[in-house]
C-alpha cells in the first residue's frame, strides 16, 4: 500500500514537473520578436529543398545570422499526401524533411514550417484538419522550431459549414482550432513558436496570447509596394498595448529587397517594422541580395530597436500633413524617433520642422542617426530634409 502511494506521488510529481518544464519552454520562445527568413514572399509555390539550403547558407555567409536572423521558415507547398495511417508525407520538392531540418540546425539556425487548421492550405496542399496531434508529433520528430498556421480553407470548409450565417459562432470555432493546435504542439514537449495567420480577424490580438500564440498577423497579405506597406502600417496604430515578450503583433513578413521598392521605401519599411516590434522575417532572394539591401537588413542599430528587451511596441506620435512622427520607448529610458515622409508631394527642398514638445521632449536631444551612424542633435523646430517615402531614424539614449 505504502509502495503504491509513494509510486503515485512520484508519478504525480513527475507529471507536474513535465507540465512546468513545458510551460517554461513555451515561455522562453519569442522573448523578442522572431527574426529569420521565410520562403513565401520571393519563391511562393516554387520553393524547393535546394532553395532552403541555399538560403540557410546565405544567412550565415551574409552576416544575417550574426545580426540575429535565426529562423529559416518554409512556407506553403512542401506538403505531399497522407498515408493509410494518416501520416503526412512531403512532396517531391522536399525529399527528406528531417535531413533538411538537420542541415539547417547544423548551421546554428532554426527551422520553421507551415500548415492550416483547414483540410487544405491556401495553395491547395494537404493541411492539418483532423490530424492536429499527428502533425504536431511529426513536426517534433523533424525538430521543427516554428509553425505558421494559416486559416485558409478552414473558413469555407469548416467555419461556414458548421455555423452558416453565424459570424460569432464561426469565430469561436476558429479560436478553438488555434487552441487545439497549440495544445497539440505543447503536448509534444518540443519548444516551438506558434504564428497565427488569420489576417487579423476578430481582434486576434485580444485572444491570441491566451491560446499560446507567439505572434499573430494583424492584416491581410503584404506585397512589395509602397501603398500596401503604408496601408498595413496605418492599421497598426492602437495595437501597441497588445505586444510584449512572448507575444507580438505581426504586420506580415518583410518585402525589403523585393519588387520595385526604392531604397528609401526599403529603409522606411524596415524602420517601421523595428519601431513596431514586428517579427523580422526577411523574404528576399538571399543568394542574389544587393549590398545596399544587405546593409538595411543587417543594420545592427535598427535591429537593436526591433529587438529591444523592454519589448514595448512603438506608436504614431503625430502627423503634419504627409510627414508622420513615430516613437518607441526603449530599455533604460532611451527613445527611438522615426520621421517619415509618407507622401509624394513634399520634397526634401521643403524641410519638415520637428516639434519636440509633441514627443514630450524639451531642449536639444543628443542622438544617433541610425542610417548614417553619425551623431545628431535633434533640436526644436530644426529643419529635416526628407525625400519622398524616406525616413530619418534616430536613437536618443538619454531623452530630456
What would the grid cell of residue 162 be? Answer: 458548421
Asked if 76 interacts with ligand GLA (CB under 6 A), we say: yes
Q: Please work out the total of residues on this chain that contact ligand GLA, with binding judged by CB under 6 A.
A: 9
Nearest to 322 by CA among 309, 308, 306, 339: 339
> Which residues lie closer than 8 Å to 348 by C-beta, 6 or more apart?
385, 386, 387, 390
Side-chain half-sphere exposure of 241, counting CA atoms within 13 A: 3
Nearer of residues 82 and 120 to ligand GLA, judged by Cβ: 120
What would the grid cell of residue 56 be? Answer: 540557410
CB of 193 to ligand GLA, least distance (A): 15
What part of residues 324-353 is at the interface with ligand GLA (CB under 6 A)? none
Pick one of 52, 111, 113, 122: the residue that binds ligand GLA (CB under 6 A).
Answer: 122
Pick one of 35, 36, 40, 72: the residue that binds ligand GLA (CB under 6 A).
Answer: 40
Selected range binding ligand GLA among 117-125, 226-234, 295-303, 328-336, rule: CB under 6 A: 117-125
Selected range binding ligand GLA among 121-129, 204-212, 227-235, 373-381, rule: CB under 6 A: 121-129
Nearer of residues 123 and 239 to ligand GLA, judged by Cβ: 123
Pick one of 145, 150, 308, 390: the residue that binds ligand GLA (CB under 6 A).
Answer: 150
CB of 25 to ligand GLA, least distance (A): 26
Nearer of residues 250 and 390 to ligand GLA, judged by Cβ: 250
SS3 of residue 163 by DSSP: coil
Unique residue bearing C-alpha cell 469565430: 171
Q: How far, in whole angstroms, is CA 399 from its chain's centroid?
A: 29
Selected range binding ligand GLA among 118-126, 203-211, 257-265, 274-282, rule: CB under 6 A: 118-126
What would the grid cell of residue 161 be? Answer: 459549414
Q: Which residues are catalytic?
A: 150, 221
**Spatial separation of the C-alpha atoms in residues 382 and 287, rounded to whole Å:** 41
List for the chain the helix, strand, coil content (%; round to 5).
Answer: 40, 20, 40
Nearest to 79 by CA among 113, 103, 54: 113
Nearest to 37 by CA among 58, 8, 17: 58
What does the per-residue mask of binding to ligand GLA show for 189-208, with x meaning CB under 6 A? --------x-----------
**Rg, C-alpha atoms of the chain:** 23
Residues 346, 368: contact at Cβ < 8 Å?
no
Asked if 123 interacts with ligand GLA (CB under 6 A), we say: yes
Pick one of 75, 145, 182, 308: the residue that binds ligand GLA (CB under 6 A).
Answer: 75
CB of 221 to ligand GLA, least distance (A): 5
CB of 183 to ligand GLA, least distance (A): 23
Nearest to 111 by CA among 37, 24, 198: 37
Nearer of residues 104 and 122 to ligand GLA, judged by Cβ: 122
CB of 175 to ligand GLA, least distance (A): 18
Residues in contact with ligand GLA by CB under 6 A are: 40, 75-76, 121-123, 150, 197, 221
Amino acid at each position: 500500500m505504502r509502495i503504491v502511494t509513494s509510486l503515485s506521488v512520484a508519478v504525480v510529481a513527475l507529471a507536474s514537473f513535465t507540465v512546468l518544464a513545458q510551460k517554461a519552454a513555451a515561455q522562453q520562445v519569442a522573448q523578442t520578436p522572431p527574426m529569420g527568413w521565410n520562403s513565401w514572399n520571393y519563391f511562393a509555390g516554387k520553393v524547393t529543398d535546394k532553395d532552403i539550403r541555399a538560403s540557410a547558407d546565405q544567412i550565415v555567409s551574409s552576416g544575417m545570422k550574426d545580426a540575429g536572423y535565426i529562423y529559416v521558415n518554409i512556407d506553403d507547398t512542401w506538403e505531399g499526401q497522407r498515408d493509410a495511417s494518416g501520416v503526412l508525407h512531403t512532396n517531391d520538392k522536399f525529399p527528406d524533411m528531417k535531413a533538411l531540418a538537420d542541415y539547417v540546425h547544423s548551421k546554428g539556425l532554426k527551422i520553421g514550417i507551415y500548415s492550416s487548421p483547414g483540410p487544405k492550405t491556401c495553395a491547395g496542399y494537404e493541411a492539418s484538419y483532423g490530424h492536429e496531434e499527428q502533425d504536431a508529433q511529426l513536426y517534433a520528430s523533424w525538430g521543427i522550431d516554428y509553425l505558421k498556421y494559416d486559416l485558409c480553407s478552414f473558413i469555407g470548409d469548416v467555419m461556414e459549414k458548421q455555423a452558416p450565417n453565424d459570424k460569432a459562432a464561426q469565430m469561436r470555432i476558429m479560436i478553438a482550432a488555434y487552441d487545439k493546435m497549440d495544445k497539440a504542439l505543447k503536448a509534444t514537449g518540443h519548444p516551438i513558436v506558434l504564428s497565427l495567420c488569420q489576417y487579423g480577424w476578430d481582434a486576434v490580438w485580444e485572444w491570441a496570447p491566451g491560446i499560446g500564440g507567439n505572434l499573430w498577423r494583424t492584416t491581410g497579405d503584404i506585397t512589395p509596394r509602397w501603398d500596401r506597406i503604408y496601408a498595413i502600417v496605418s492599421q497598426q496604430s492602437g495595437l501597441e498595448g497588445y505586444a510584449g515578450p512572448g507575444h507580438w503583433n505581426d504586420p506580415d513578413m518583410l518585402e525589403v529587397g523585393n519588387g520595385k521598392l526604392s531604397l528609401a521605401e526599403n529603409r522606411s519599411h524596415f524602420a517601421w517594422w523595428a519601431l513596431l516590434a514586428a517579427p523580422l522575417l526577411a523574404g528576399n532572394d538571399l543568394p542574389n541580395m544587393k549590398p545596399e539591401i544587405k546593409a538595411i537588413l543587417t543594420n545592427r542599430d535598427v535591429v537593436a530597436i526591433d529587438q529591444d528587451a523592454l519589448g514595448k511596441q512603438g506608436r504614431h506620435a503625430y502627423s503634419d500633413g504627409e510627414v508622420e512622427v513615430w516613437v518607441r520607448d526603449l530599455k533604460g529610458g532611451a527613445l527611438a524617433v522615426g520621421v517619415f515622409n509618407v507622401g509624394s508631394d513634399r520634397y526634401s527642398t521643403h524641410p519638415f520642422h520637428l516639434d519636440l514638445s509633441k514627443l514630450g521632449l524639451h531642449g536639444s536631444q543628443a542622438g544617433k542617426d541610425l542610417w548614417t551612424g553619425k551623431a545628431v542633435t535633434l533640436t526644436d523646430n530644426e529643419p529635416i530634409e526628407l525625400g519622398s517615402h524616406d525616413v530619418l531614424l534616430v536613437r536618443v539614449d538619454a531623452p530630456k
